[in-house]
Structure 1
Amino acid sequence: MAASRLQTPPKLRHGTLRVIPLGGLGDIGRNMAALEINGQLLLIDCGVLFPEDDHPGVDLILPGFDAIADRLDDVVGLVLTHGHEDHIGGVPYLLRQRSDIPIIGSRLTLALVAEKVKEHRLSGVQPRPVAEGDRVELGEFDLEFVAVNHSIPDGLAVFVRTAGGTVLHTGDFKMDQLPLDGRLTDLRALARLGEEGVDLLMIDSTNAEVPGFTTPEKDILPALQRVFATSKQRLIVTSFASHVHRVQQVLDTAVAYSRKVAYVGRSMVRNMNIARDLGYLKVPENTVIELRELDNYRPDQVVLVSTGSQGEPLSALARIANREHPAIQLEPGDTVLLASSLVPGNENAVYRVINGLTRLGARVVHRGNALVHVSGHASAGELLYVYNLLKPANVMPVHGESRHLIANADLAVSTGVPRDHTIIAEDGTVVDLKDHRAKAVGQIECDYIFVDGSTVGDISQSSLTDRRILGEEGFISVVAVVNLRSKKVLSGPDIHDRGFLEDPSIYEPVRERIAQALTDALEDGVDDTHRLQQVIRRQIGKWVSDTYRRRPMIIPVVVAV
């Protein structure tokens, strides 16, 4: 069931539960949802989306929490399912608007959030740690937490009981039956909740198109060992900075091959120290060294664990590939292992880094040529298992692009969920739950919020379009001085460009055409500089399009004397 576009939802009735996804539907990132009943709001997750090539100058993209900006006093809590950036990265920006929102999450998740809060210099934050099996009441919401397995420790699903019905939000999960930390997705708890009754299941869709079951984490160990065994010089392993399980495997393998380990990248150092201090990362004695100690060891005695798995331009790996890192210089024969998946949209950036590393003589091992990464998300077989276990009355797939959401809904239907009880929503879709029936009842604005340096929310789609044009097509400025009384062009038009052709001689054919068009407009009584600027824009725009098939930004300036 697809949501209608920009349809004002009806007034929420007492006792009806309203669910509004504020991010994460149609994208891989910026996950967030709002639940409302009897005047109170509960938020689930608040992540970021990392920009793509068509977002020039943008650092982060936030969920659409501007949609609830005037309702923040009604928020009784923010539940965080786990500690990945696409689920917690937006928390400091939300807390800027109201710092005392209770933050509910696992120990590791809250520890990662605490570092972000410290960086943003926020005060008055109220963390509330929970664990699987805990039950918490927040106003109209009765919350129960369930252990789920993911690619970061301490993931939680949340079961929400309200007067309007029940909602199970899975967060990101998979069903690894041999997890590295021994923490399974709690199928017994899910079965019990299924017996109680799940009115609306909000379920991870990332791998809905992938058949079968997700490969266990332990299965990458042989490939990891082969890389260590065949690396005769320095070895660099890059991973998500929050992938504690992968770093644990690297640490254990490094010990087996008598290598020391150094972390590279601020977020990697910070996250691994947090994980170690909380007991999630077991660091063998005398294994981890500081980056400044590298010169004390031969290249074949160390392994570097680095950030930059997604080709981020300022990451440690990208700087190494560009020979810009202050402490690490790649040598021919070194090995780089990308132990991560490709987040959709990052492909070009990642392959640019791989090409740069290869040009420097490195052997690059990645998911495309070896089993060095497995997904943290449930594949189709696991999703089917969950549907059959829970028997939900209604399903709203979340966390994925449109194709993932639709594939997930099809899986639900195949297990017996009626087609009209599956909701293919998008960000801003308003879903009401009453008497065990969920329906899309409207659509609200839920735009991207762009972060550019310290600026939040002041960047519009039109300004991004301008940035793309400037970056891809360049710009042309045209300056003319006119006398409105004598109806003459006194000076110019002077034409300059940047990033177009940058050859002044090419404009000779159009310069006279612009001057004549201005003279004609003045003689026709046009005495408005804005309208005269439009005359210039039309003349040079048509000429550039006809001559060069390009569309640079055109900046006309008319000075009237």
Structure 2
Amino acid sequence: MTQDSDTVAQEASPEERLRIVPLGGLGEIGKNCMAVEYGQDILVIDAGLMFPTSHMLGVDFVIPDIRYLLERVKRIRAILITHAHEDHIGALPYIIPHVQVPIYGTELTLGLVRAKLKEFGLAGKAAYTTIEPGRPFEIGAFRIESFRVVHSISEGVGLAIHTSVGTVVHSGDFKLDQTPIDGKNTDFLKLAELGENGVLVLLSDSTYADRPGFSLSERLVGKTLDHVFSRTKGRFIIATFASSLPRIQQVIMVAHKHMRKIAFVGKSLIANVHIARDMGYLNIPAGMEVRQDEIPGIAPEDLVVLTTGSQGEPTSALTQMATNNHKWVKITPGDTVVLSATPVPGNEELVLRTINQLYRLGAEVIYTVTSKADTGHDSGGLRIHVSGHGSQEDLKLMLSILRPRFFVPIHGEYRHLVHHASLAREMGISPERTIIALSGDVLEFDSENGRVTDHVDLEQILVDGGSVGDIRRAVLRERYHLAQEGILIPVVAVHEKTGELLASPEIITRGYIYARESNGLIEDAKQIMVETVGRIAGAGAPDINVLKNCLKEDLQRFLYERTKRRPLTLPIVMLVDSVPLSVGQELLRRDSEVL
């Protein structure tokens, strides 16, 4: 952030300042969570997860570090959810046990939140308050209005949080689509009213701040699907995100137009579809839906299968189909598979692997190969996906309507935040009033001033199965090391008093070299071990830790000279009084079987 000291007015007392503390989502994609503080009250906006990077081996996802909230838990009044995507609600099951406050959201959002908490046995641990866009409500020192925005999931909202210092507007995830599928447009009248009355701070979605133009309308995907259905007679299998309800509705509408039945495949997709249908947010014509077990009995030209797996996830339904392992859906020549999503950065290899497997089974595949292509075209010019995030012109229009005194770009990697800040300058917001903040920064505002005043140290809280927060960076480094270099376990049995070697050294390797084809290397490494033990034995009774360290150092030096690789080396030293050679070999054999 830059701050013009000449423009700083008399500062307010601490209790009159507004504090905003992002705990995730700034400088990164996902893990959206933010604390807004005024007086003795705190609001939490969103509680999302982040998908792991390729280096986070074995990690399922990452959640925000909420120690800052736990230290102030008695001041937290509510959690406000802007919409029900995983990067905004995915961390709730890990937060609610510690922060039991009401959850506010629109009707559909709360329906999906309840279902998520129910999976963890937590549905009864929270109170739920439904908010209606346009109807203000109060929580502690805050007066709050929600306003409707268009996104790739229905019932998303932005928030206007009013305090005596000024109004904070949180955009939520949005794009300014003028023709949304559900007919519920962004509330431009409310935005104009907020801009007219004055906005102190705008916190705005930056995910697509580097994309020129306006983001495309969701309806264009429906037109593409209609065109593809018209020219293709076989079975359709369409993969998309389980939460993309507007996309799902379009698939249903087009399938119905072409007199096809529809089957939903994938646990999360089925759950979301049935929740949205029961709440009136999806329209499925009577008699159109068929169960998974009915799929084999329906003629291909009469069926559409809507499935999860657009990101090539290894356990997803589409991946099971591509590997011929799905119970009910067997890919056959004549099938057309549509990947109605772009790969999330880092998933490209998984997606392409799935596509190749589908082609091998004889399917025709329509796909977008790069996440860059949010024009939504595949190689054949078909628009099969559009984003739910606003591009540069959407973002500029939001800025021009609200005209905030201060601007903070949120929800994006650092480059997205910088691009968005540049757009704000184009729209007349001075650099002194544009704050590029990161997760953990503490922002303070009064009616005239705004700046970063402090920073909260945040850790990556990694979720690995049932383990939450126990996986540290050192563990990830070891996993990455194992994946890249393999492991080598040298085993020696030495006399506990003299340190002399009692049996021939053994070496166990996994993921480093193929031992049967590397006898020379292994034998030379064993000789290094003999020399190391002999050197240490000359000093009298052995110190087991010293011997382990020496074995590790000597072997790593030797192995790097020979192979230019550094396997994770974990020496095993057995101190015994006297062990017959056969017993030592049996111990080594058992160790080998365990490994």
Shorter-chain-normalised TM-score: which range? over 0.9
Which of 547, 551, 557 does residue 542 from structure 1 map onto? 557
Deviation at 1:325, TM superposition (A): 0.9
Residue of 571, 575, 578 corresponding to 1:556: 571
Cα drift, residue 538 of structure 1: 0.9
1:398 to 2:410 alignment? yes
Q: Aligned runs of 1:103-118 on 2, under 5 Å?
A: 103-118=103-118
- Counterparts of 1:38-437 in structure 2 under 5 Å? 38-98=39-99, 100-122=100-122, 123-367=124-368, 368-369=378-379, 370-437=382-449
Could you tell me which residue of structure 1 aligns to residue 371 of structure 2?
Answer: none
What is the CA distance between 1:163 and its match in structure 2?
A: 3.5
Q: CA RMSD in A?
A: 1.8
Q: Deviations over 1:513-561 (max 9, x none)?
A: 2221232234346843222211111111122222112222111122334
Q: Contact conserved, 2:498 with 2:540, CA < 8 A, in 1?
A: no
Partner amino acid, structure 2, of 1:557: I
2:490 equivalent to 1:478: yes
User: Could you say what secondary structure the match of 1:198 adopts?
Assistant: coil
Structure 1 alignment gaps of length 5 or more: 4-11
* In structure 2, C-alpha distance between the alignment counterparts of 1:56 and 1:479, rounded to whole Å: 28
Alignment partner, residue 506 of structure 2: 494
Moved more, 180-189 or 226-235: 226-235
- Code of the residue aligned with 1:63 in structure 2: it is P
Give 1:156 shift. 0.5
Between 1:33-42 and 1:326-335, the stretch displaced more is: 33-42
Q: Is the 8 A contact 2:96 2:125 kept in 1?
A: no
1:495-510 to structure 2, matched below 5 A, reads 495-503=507-515, 505=519, 506-510=521-525
Residue 199 of structure 1 contacts residue 437 of structure 1 at CA under 8 Å; is this kept in 2? no
Q: Residue 373 of structure 1 aligns to a residue in which SS? A: coil
1:60-118 per-residue CA deviation (whole Å, 9 max, x = no partner) reads 211222332232232100000001111111111111223x3110000000000010111
Provide closer, same or farther for how the CA distance between residues 2 and 317 of structure 1 changes in structure 2, counting only shifts above 3 A.
Answer: farther
Q: How many percent of aligned residue pairs carry the same amino acid?
A: 38
Q: Which runs of structure 2 are paired with 1:508-519 in the superposition (5 Å)?
A: 508-519=523-534
For residues 534 and 424 of structure 1, the distance between their equivalents in structure 2, rounded to whole angstroms, comes to 47
Cα distance in 2 for residues equivalent to 1:235 and 1:106 = 33
1:409 offset after TM fit, Å?
A: 0.8
Residues in 2 aligned to 1:499 and 1:183: alpha-carbon distance in whole angstroms? 55
Q: Structure 2 CA distance, aligned partners of 1:537 and 1:202?
A: 52
Correspondence 1:523 to 2:542: no
- 1:7 matched residue in structure 2: none
Query: Matches of 2:571 and 2:135 in 1, distance apart?
Result: 64
Residue 313 of structure 1 aligns with an amino acid whose one-letter code is P
Residue range with higher mean Cα deviation, 348-357 or 169-178: 348-357
Question: Cα distance, 1:499 vs. partner?
Answer: 1.3
Amino acid at match of 1:413: R
- The one of the two structures with greater contact order (alpha-carbon pairs below 8 A, sep at least 6) is 1
CA distance in 2, matches of 1:205, 1:389: 17
Deviates more, 1:424-433 or 1:147-156: 424-433
8 Å Cα contact 1:241-1:271 kept in structure 2: yes
Structure 1 pair 333–559 and aligned structure 2 pair: CA distance change class (3 A):
same
Q: CA deviation at 1:363?
A: 0.9
Q: Deviation of residue 438 (structure 1)?
A: 1.8
Cα contact 2:41–2:76 (8 A) shared by 1? yes
Residue aligned with 1:488, SS: coil
Paired positions, count: 552
- Residues of 1 paired with 2:405 and 2:537: CA distance? 71
Report if the CA contact (8 A) 2:208-2:392 is conserved: yes
Compared with structure 1, are the counterparts of its residues 160 and 334 closer, same or farther at alpha carbon in structure 2 (3 Å cutoff)? same
Q: Measure, in 1, the Cα distance between the counterparts of 2:223 and 2:536.
A: 77
* CA displacement 1:95-153 (0-9 Å, x = unmatched): 1223x311000000000001011111112310100011121211122211111111111
Write the distance in 2 (CA, Å) between the matches of 1:352 and 1:41.
46
Between 1:237-246 and 1:539-548, the stretch displaced more is 539-548
| Separation in 2, partners of 1:223, 1:547 | 58
Question: How far apart are residue 492 of structure 1 and its match?
Answer: 4.2
The Cα shift of 1:52 comes to 3.3
Q: Distance in 2 between matches of 1:69 and 1:530?
A: 41
Letter of the 2:567 partner, please give it.
P
Deviation digits for residues 161-189 of structure 1, max 9, x if unmatched?
Answer: 22343211111001011111111111111
- Number of the residue aligned with 1:460: 472
Does 2:48 match 1:33?
no
Farther off after superposition, 16-25 or 218-227: 218-227
Q: Provide the secondary structure at the position in 2 that maps to 1:389.
A: helix
Is 1:14 aligned to residue 5 of structure 2? no
C-alpha distance in 2 between matches for 1:365 and 1:245:
20
How far, CA to CA, are the matches of 1:27 and 1:231 in structure 2? 41
**Aligned AA for 2:48?**
G
Instruction: Indicate conservation of the 8 Å contact 1:56/1:467, yes or no.
Output: yes
- Quick one: which of 441, 455, 468 aligns to 2:453? 441
Amino acid of the structure 2 residue aligned with 1:394: F
The answer to whether the Cα contact below 8 Å between 2:199 and 2:403 also exists between their aligned partners in 1 is: yes
CA distance in 1, matches of 2:2, 2:250: 43
Q: Is the 8 A contact 2:192 2:401 kept in 1?
A: yes
- What CA distance in whole angstroms lies between the structure 2 residues aligned with 1:483 and 1:196? 84
Q: State the TM-score, normalizing by the size of structure 1.
A: 0.95
Amino acid at match of 2:219: K
- Counterpart residue type for residue 432 of structure 2: D
Look up the equivalent residue of 1:80 and give its one-letter code: I
1:488-516 Cα offsets, whole Å, 9 max, x none, are: 23334321011111316231112112221
Query: Which piece of structure 1 moves more, 144-153 or 543-552?
Result: 543-552
1-structure distance, mates of 2:160, 2:540: 71
- Partners of 1:153 and 1:194 in 2: how far apart? 25
Per-residue deviation at 1:283?
1.2
Distance 1:491 1:16, change over 3 A: farther
Provide the TM-score with structure 2 as the length reference.
0.90
8 Å Cα contact 1:393-1:437 kept in structure 2: no
In structure 2, what is the Cα distance between the partners aligned to 1:418 and 1:492? Answer: 74
Give the stretch that moved more between structures: 206-215 or 509-518: 509-518
d(CA) in 2 for partners of 1:20, 1:555 = 43
Query: What is the Cα deviation at residue 2 of structure 1?
Result: 7.8
Residue 460 of structure 1: how far off its partner (Å): 0.8
Distance in 2 between the 1:390 and 1:78 partners? 24
User: What is the CA-CA distance between 1:403 and the residue it aligns to?
Assistant: 1.1
